[in-house]
Structure 1
Amino acid sequence: MFLELLPWALFMLFVFAMLALDLGVFHKDAHQVERREALAWSAVWIGLAIAFNIGIYIFRGTEDGLEWTTGYLVEKTLSVDNIFIILLIFSAFAVPQAYQHRVLFWGIVGALVMRAALIAVAGVLLSTLHFVIYIFGAFLIFTGIKFLREQDHQPDLERHPVVRFANRIFRTSHEYDGQKFFTRKNGLLYATPLFVTLLLIEATDLVFAVDSIPAIYAITDDPFIVFTSNIFAILGLRSLYFVLAGYLSGLAYLKPALAAILVFVGAKMLVIDFYKVPSLASLAVIATILTVAIAASLIVARRRAAVLEKAPALAPESGH
């Protein structure tokens, strides 16, 4: 029993130590996270994930190692779509860049707790009620098709149910008080816009977790692989946000790629009792989808930039 729990305990100890180091040392004082710093932290988290994955290959074998790689890649990809929403939330509430890291840090902590609970619930359902796997598969396919059909739009966050709930439960202030989530005015405690922003980010992650957790259970039913790959993807989300926030709008085919991945893993769940797709084949399909989407997006972005460069030169000629 002790040997079975030891990897879990060591992993959680590692996570808490890294989070404490992050907030308590490297980001003790609020400051704007520059792209170079974000790139460095992204490299750290990805490097740690690779090192952990190598450990899985060494101690648990190739099959488990491939499942971890595929699970991590799926979770990392699905988390990118979450960055769009975070960017929108920060813009809507005009969150100063110096305080964005603090919000994301506590958002990640909340996400870790929620993901752990949801992974446990999903695992119990799948182990005791096997038919649930078909429900999860159908749900993922439905979500993927919905991704393709829905138009990009910006929701009215001021009327979001979470914001209305916060306004009903807490006294809310419209002014920031440094990086505080709560502030006092005339002896009364008020929630700052930073706290409301945090609630919105937690609610957003809950929605995305409902998609991502069934997706990784389509790859493996090993709870340790599911949990650790999911957590590593979430831990790197914060630094990934600061790296990609300015570039995501140029990835025109990111959403179709996410939709294709969801449909693929959903289909895997539906046929699992008839045919189990090999881990290496799953990894190859998902990697191919991502590569094609990124390459196509870069080609389209380059062509658009070329058209815009030519437009000013053509404008004077059209007047003759």
Structure 2
Amino acid sequence: MNVSALEWGITLSVTIAILLFDVIVIGRRPHEPSKRETGTALTIYVGLAIAFGVWTWFFHGSQYGVEFFAGWLTEYSLSVDNLFIFLIIMASFKVPRVYQQQALLVGIILALIFRGIFIALGAVAIEQFSWVFYLFGAFLVYTAIKLVRDTDHDDDGENGVVRFAQKHLKFTDTWDGLKLWVKENGSGRLMTPMFLVIIALGTTDLLFALDSIPAIYGLTREPYLVFAANVFALMGLRQLYFLLGDLLKRLVYLSQGLAFILGFIGVKLLLHALHENEVPFINGGEPLKVPEIPTLASLGVIVVTLAITTAASLYKTRVHDVRKNGEAAGDEAPEGADETDPAAGTSR
């Protein structure tokens, strides 16, 4: 894929412009966005992603267009899974709703920075070491197995870095927007709760970058498409957080669906590694004649998996809600009320 310096420049400029716009708007007017506001922004971001994919399809070829859409859907799905952790972090630290939008924006910017670093490192590793696909594939299969075993997101939202900060730094209970520290009379400089929230979001983003970058390199080897897919996946994440709200908790099978997708891409990477094998202790350093999974087939698997996962999740939560409402209605029946026996026609 021949990407000109102009294309890279435009992509980076648009990304920075959108982030600066968000920073300026949110910094001046912290608030809980309305559904209309979030819906409009999310529609624009998704529309931009689709337009970029169509543009890539016609100007760089259908193969690269398919690779972008497959990568974007995968990264978007992983980003939605990110929102579960964000929800837990916000709840565990009791972040006021008015400040959640600011915290999310910082988390997304950190995610973009971390993913940019890993994209560059991944591109260099792939260029220099063909055997890195074995590592990527094995890591994704391991991650998929771990997701299947550990599908419960209900933890305390903290990690070792957060606990270390709590132990060694002085904190105040005062919230003051995005300020990480404040000065209080007689106490000197104290860290705010937002400091801990940013640490939690940043370390979470770092861990998710370790999963997402190998996954997308299993779908495309073009750093430009990898970067674009990650940018478009992260752009609407903040709006999605407020728009979906409780609906995110209804996607109970999302982790299983993502586990299947990551495992599938991991196998795809391992097959590719075997097909391009240069490792001396495998088949004498010669490539193996194994089938490779085309990107179009990967896109189909991703779309079908996400559709089934979403439908099954909504069906299960709907059935659960119906049963719960039925039990609640039964519990609310007045005590001592006469129950009529239909067969006898009398009260018993």
Deviation of 1:23 after TM superposition, in Å, equals: 2.5
| TM superposition score normalised by structure 2 | 0.85
Aligned to 2:4, what secondary structure does the other structure show? helix
How much has 1:174 moved relative to structure 2? Answer: 2.5
How far, CA to CA, are the matches of 2:166 and 2:315 in structure 1? 45
270-279 vs 140-149, greater mean Cα deviation = 270-279
2:50 alignment counterpart:
50
Match of 1:166 in 2: 165
8 Å contact kept, 2:26–2:102: no
The CA deviation at 1:182 is 2.3
Shift in Å, 1:168? 5.7
Distance 1:309 1:110 in 2: 42
Which digits, 9 at most, give the CA deviation of each residue in 1:84-134, with x for residues without a partner? 110001011110111111111122222211111111111111211111111
Contact 1:57 1:65 in 2 (8 A): yes
* CA shift in 2, pair 1:223/1:197, >3 Å: same
Q: Deviations over 1:41-88 (max 9, x none)?
A: 211211111111111112111100000000000000011111111000
C-alpha separation in 2, matches of 1:165 and 1:4? 46
The equivalent residue for 1:138 is 138
Which SS does the other structure have where 1:226 is aligned?
Answer: helix
Structure 2 stretches of 5 or more lacking a match? 276-289, 340-348
CA distance in 1, matches of 2:155, 2:111: 22
The alpha-carbon deviation at position 318 of structure 1 amounts to: 11
What does residue 214 of structure 1 align with?
214
- Measure how far apart 1:153 and its partner are: 5.3
Q: What TM-score do the two structures reach when normalised by structure 1? A: 0.92
Point out which structure has higher relative CO (alpha carbons under 8 A, 6+ apart): 1
- The residue matched to 2:189 in structure 1 has which SS? strand
| CA apart distance, 1:195 | 1.9
Question: 1:26: how far off?
Answer: 6.1
Give the fraction of aligned pairs with identical amino acids, expressed as a percent: 40
The answer to whether the 8 Å contact 2:257/2:309 transfers is yes
- 2:28 is the alignment partner of 1:15: no
Is the 1:72–1:230 Cα contact (8 Å) retained in structure 2? yes
Match of 1:231 in 2: 231
Distance in structure 2 (CA, Å) of the matches to 1:280 and 1:129: 26
State whether structure 2 residue 311 is matched by structure 1 residue 295.
Answer: yes
Mapped partners of 2:137, 2:334: distance in 1:
57
Other structure's SS at 2:220 match: coil
CA distance in 1, matches of 2:177, 2:230: 32
Residue 173 of structure 1 and its aligned partner are, at CA, apart by 2.1
Deviation at 1:180, TM superposition (A): 2.2
Which whole-Å CA distance do the structure 2 matches of 1:57 and 1:311 have between them?
Answer: 53
Q: Distance in 1 between matches of 2:329 and 2:185?
A: 61
Q: What does residue range 1-320 of structure 1 map to in structure 2 within 5 Å?
A: 4-25=4-25, 28-152=28-152, 154-157=154-157, 160-167=159-166, 170-186=169-185, 188-272=188-272, 273=275, 274-314=290-330, 316=333
Q: Rate the CA distance shift 1:178–1:150 in 2: closer, same or farther, 3 A.
A: closer
Deviations 1:247-298 (A, max 9, x none): 1221221111011011010010010123332221111111000111111112
**C-alpha distance in 2, partners of 1:205/1:11?**
22
Whether the 8 Å contact between 2:119 and 2:213 is mirrored in structure 1 is yes
Cα distance, 1:314 vs structure 2: 4.7
Structure 1 letter corresponding to 2:160? P
Conserved? CA contact 2:144–2:259, under 8 Å: yes
SS at match of 1:183: strand
State the secondary structure of the residue aligned to 1:275: coil
CA contact (8 A) 2:110 2:205 kept: no
The answer to whether the 8 A contact 2:144-2:262 is kept is yes
Contact between 1:110 and 1:202, CA under 8 Å: does it hold in 2?
yes
Rg comparison, structure with higher value: 2
Q: Is the 8 A contact 2:181 2:189 kept in 1?
A: yes
Moved more, 109-118 or 201-210: 109-118
For 1:10 and 1:169, the matched residues in 2 are separated by 44
Question: CA 1:237/1:151 → structure 2, altered by over 3 Å: closer, same or farther?
Answer: closer
Paired AA for residue 262 in structure 1:
L
Does the aligned pair in 1 maintain the 2:72–2:230 contact within 8 Å? yes
> How far off its partner does 1:141 sit?
0.8
1:185/1:258 CA distance change after superposition, 3 Å: same
Whether contact under 8 Å (1:218, 1:266) holds in the other structure is yes
1:169 Cα deviation after fit: 6.2
More off after superposition, 179-188 vs 228-237: 179-188
Provide structure 1 residue ranges, at least 5 long, that are not aligned to the other structure: none
Residues 88, 157 of structure 2: 8 Å contact kept = no
AA partner of residue 163 (structure 1): V
Paired residue type of 1:176: W
What's the CA shift for 1:179? Answer: 3.9
- Superposed CA RMSD in Å reads 2.2
Q: 1:83 touches 1:245 (CA, 8 Å); kept in 2?
A: no
